[in-house]
Amino acid sequence: MMGRSSGWAPRNAGGFRADNLGQDALSMIRNLGFAVFVIGVLIFTIIAATYQPEDPLFHPSAKMTNFLTSRSNATFKADDTVVRTGEDFIASNQIAFSSFINLTDVEIAVPILETGNDLECQGKTDDPIDCRDPDVFHLLMKATIEKFPDAHFYKFGKPVLGSNESTCHMAWRFRPKEGKTAAFYKDYRSFVISRSENCTLSVVGIGEYHSGGNARKRKRNHKVGPDKTGKSDEGFEKVPSETVASQGSIALPVVGEAVNDSLPIVESESSFRRGKYLFYSGGGDRCKSMNHYLWSFMCALGEAQYLNRTLVMDLSICLNKMYTSSGQDEEGKDFRFYFDFEHLKDSASVLDQTQFWEDWNKWHQKDGLTLHLVEDFKVTPMKLAGLRDALIVRKFGSVEPDNYWYRVCEGETESVVQRPWHLVWKSRRLMDIVSAIASRLNWDYDSVHIVRGEKARNEKMWPNLRRDTSPEAVLSSLKDKIEEGRNLYVATDEGDVSFFDPLKDKYSTHFLDEYRDLWDEKSEWWSETAAKLNRGNPVEFDGYMRASVDTEVFLRGKKQVETFNDLTTDCKDGVNTC
C-alpha cells in the first residue's frame, strides 16, 4: 500500500496538477488583465476629473485644425491672431470663371475715335464729353486694360458724368492675374478725357483707387433672405460670373461693393409667431481669442441650421487683450467690424438679440409662445429636433471649459451638426483696405513676413530667429528669391519699421502704416464703420484689424517669403516642434 501510494499526491496539492496547469495559467492571466484594466480606468477617471487643458479649444478636431490654421504661417502677436474664414477655402483653381475681357474685344470700336473731320470739329474742342457715348465707353475700357496689365477684367459698368464736363467715372470688376483667392474686386475711377482739334478723343488721366464715386452702385434696402433671381448689376455688360461656377452656385465676395449690413427685422407679429428660434446665453467664450470665439459661434450657427431655427445672436464682441492697444479686454466691439454680416444674413437666418427680445416681450404672452430651457451642453441637438417650442435657450454656466459653446458640437454631435464655414467671411470694409493697398502697388509686388517680437527675444525656444531676421540676413535670404528693384511689402510685428531701412538699398519697401490714410478720420472706412456701425463714435483700427489687413496684403504678393519656411531654420512653435 505504501509503495502504491508513494506516487500519489492530494488532488489540489499546490494546484499544479498536470492536467489543470493550462486552465490555472489562463485564469491567472485573466485576473491580472482585469486588475490592469481596473487600475487603468481609475487613473483615467482621476485625470479626466482634474485635467484643465491649456488650449481653450479642448481636443480640437482635424477639421478645426484645417480651417483655422493660417496657410501663411502668419504670426503677428500670437499664433491664432488671424482667423481663416469661409472664403479662404474656396480654391481659386476650382472655380470656372467666365472668360475675361481682352484688349482685342474692345479696340475694334476705338478707331472711330481716332479719326475726325476738321470742319465738324471747329469750335467744338471744349464741348462737354458725352460719357454715355458707346465710343467713349470703349475708349475707357481700352485705357483701363492697358493701364493695369496685371489684372483680368470681367465686367465694365457704363460710364457716367464725373466731377466736370471733361471727366467720366466708370466701374469694373476684376481679379489679379496671379490671384490666389477666389474673389472679385470692384474699382471705380475718374477718367480725364481730352478732345483734339480733329475730334480725336484720348484719356489723359486716370484717378486713384475708388476716385470715381459717381459710378459706385448704391444698394437698395435689404431684402430678407438671399436674392435668388440671378439678376446682374445694372449697367454691367456681362452676367456676373461669380454667381454661377462650374461646380454649382458658389457665392464669392466682391470687394469694393457698397456694403449693406443693416440689422434684419421681423416685419410683423404673424411672421414672428411663425418663427422658431435658438439662443445661446452666457458661457465662458467671451473675451477669448478670435479663433475661440469663431469656433464656438460656428457651433451655435450649425445647431440652428440643423434645427431649422433662426439664430438669435449677440453682435457685441469682447475683444481679447492680445488685440487691444490698452492691453485689456475691451467690450462693445461690433461683429460687423471683423466679419461680413451682409453675407451672413443673406445666407442664413439670424437676428440681433436686442431686436429679438423687444419683439419677444411684446408678443410671446399674447401669442402663447413657449420657451424651452437647456442647461446641460450634453443635451444634443438631436434630442431637441422634435421640440415645437418657439424658443430654445441654451444656458451655459460658469465652470470652464464645460461652459464653452463649442462643447455642444463635440462627441456624437460632431458627425451630425456641421459648422457652416461658408457663411462667415471677413469684413469687406477691411478687405477694401487690402484691395486699396494692393491697387496702389498695381497688384505687382512681392511680400515677406518677418516675425520678431517676443519670439526673437526668447533665444531658448528660437535660438536663431533674432539673427535670421536681421536686415542683413533678410537681404541675404531674399537675394535668390526676389529680384532687386521690386516693390516689397513687409508684413511684420516689429514696432520700429526703420529697423528694416537697409532693405531699401535693394527694394522699394512698403509697410502697413504707410497707408494710414485708408483708415484715418477722413477715410471711407472711417465714415462707413463709425457712422453706420458705431453711432458716429470713433472706431479704433485695433490690433486684430491690423493683423487681418497685414496678412491679407501679404497673401496677395506675387512671391511670398515666410519667416519659418524661408528665413530661418527655427521651428514656428519653438525648439523640437517642427
Of 44-48, 357-361, 538-542, the one with minimum mean pLDDT is 44-48
pLDDT at 224: 39
Query: CA-to-CA distance for 128 and 8, rounded, in angstroms?
Result: 129
- Could you tell me which residue, 46 or 84, shows the higher pLDDT? 84
Report yes or no: 272 and 363 within 8 Å, Cβ to Cβ.
yes
Query: CA-to-CA distance for 134 and 109, rounded, in angstroms?
Result: 9
Measuring CA to CA, which residue among 308, 277, 543, 477 is closest to residue 389? Answer: 277
pLDDT at 326: 95
Report yes or no: 319 and 329 within 8 Å, Cβ to Cβ.
yes
Query: CA-to-CA distance for 384 and 377, rounded, in angstroms?
Result: 12
Task: Answer yes or no: is pLDDT of 94 > 80.
Answer: no
Strand partners, 187: 172
Res. 42 pLDDT band, cuts 50 70 90: low
Task: Dump pLDDT digits (tens) for 486-523.
Answer: 999 999 999 899 999 999 999 999 999 999 999 999 99
Task: Answer yes or no: is pLDDT of 11 > 50.
Answer: no
Measuring CA to CA, which residue among 248, 97, 72, 246 is closest to residue 177? Answer: 97
Task: Dump pLDDT digits (tens) for 228-254.
Answer: 333 333 333 333 333 333 334 567 889
Query: CA-to-CA distance for 448 and 427, rounded, in angstroms?
Result: 24
Q: What is 326-367 written as a DSSP string?
A: SSS-EEEEEHHHHB-HHHHHHHS-EEEHHHHHHHHHHHHHHH
Coil/strand/helix, residue 290: helix
The verdict on domain 260-426 having CATH code 3.30.460 is no
pLDDT at 70: 38
Res. 100 pLDDT band, cuts 50 70 90: confident
pLDDT, average across residues 377-396: 97
Chain mean pLDDT for the chain:
83
Task: Dump pLDDT digits (tens) for 365-378.
Answer: 999 999 999 999 99
pLDDT at 61: 47
Burial class from Cβ neighbours inside 10 Å (0-12, 13-18, 19+) for residue 577 reads exposed
**Residue burial 82-97, b: 16+ Cβ < 10 Å; e: rest:** bbbbbbbebeeeebeb
pLDDT at 111: 47
According to DSSP, residue 209 is labeled T
Measuring CA to CA, which residue among 570, 561, 564, 566 is closest to residue 464? Answer: 570
Full strand arrangement of the beta sheet holding 487-492: 508-510, 487-492, 446-450, 560-561
Of 39-48, 213-222, 329-338, 539-548, the one with minimum mean pLDDT is 39-48
**Residues in contact with 181: Cβ distance below 8 Å, sequence separation at least 6, in sequence order:** 87, 88, 92, 555, 556
Task: Answer yes or no: is pLDDT of 565 > 90.
Answer: no
Of 27-31, 461-465, 548-552, the one with minimum mean pLDDT is 27-31
Domain boundaries, the chain: 103-111+126-215, 260-426, 428-562
Measuring CA to CA, which residue among 495, 487, 530, 525 is closest to residue 513? Answer: 495
Task: Answer yes or no: is pLDDT of 163 > 90.
Answer: yes
AA identity, residue 114: E
The Cα diameter of the chain in Å comes to 152
In 458-517, which ranges are continuous DSSP H helix?
465-468, 471-478
Strand partners, 374: 394
Query: CA-to-CA distance for 338 and 83, rounded, in angstroms?
Result: 10
Task: Dump pLDDT digits (tens) for 131-144.
Answer: 999 999 999 999 99
Task: Answer yes or no: is pLDDT of 330 > 50.
Answer: yes
Task: Dump pLDDT digits (tens) for 191-234.
Answer: 999 988 888 899 999 999 999 999 987 655 444 333 333 333 33
Q: Computed from CA positions of residues 344, 346, 349, 355, in that sequence, does the dihedral angle turn out positive or negative? A: positive
Report yes or no: 401 and 59 within 8 Å, Cβ to Cβ.
no
Task: Answer yes or no: is pLDDT of 46 > 60.
Answer: no
**Residues in contact with 56: Cβ distance below 8 Å, sequence separation at least 6, in sequence order:** 288, 289, 292, 400, 401, 404
Burial class from Cβ neighbours inside 10 Å (0-12, 13-18, 19+) for residue 165 reads middle
Coil/strand/helix, residue 523: coil
pLDDT at 343: 95
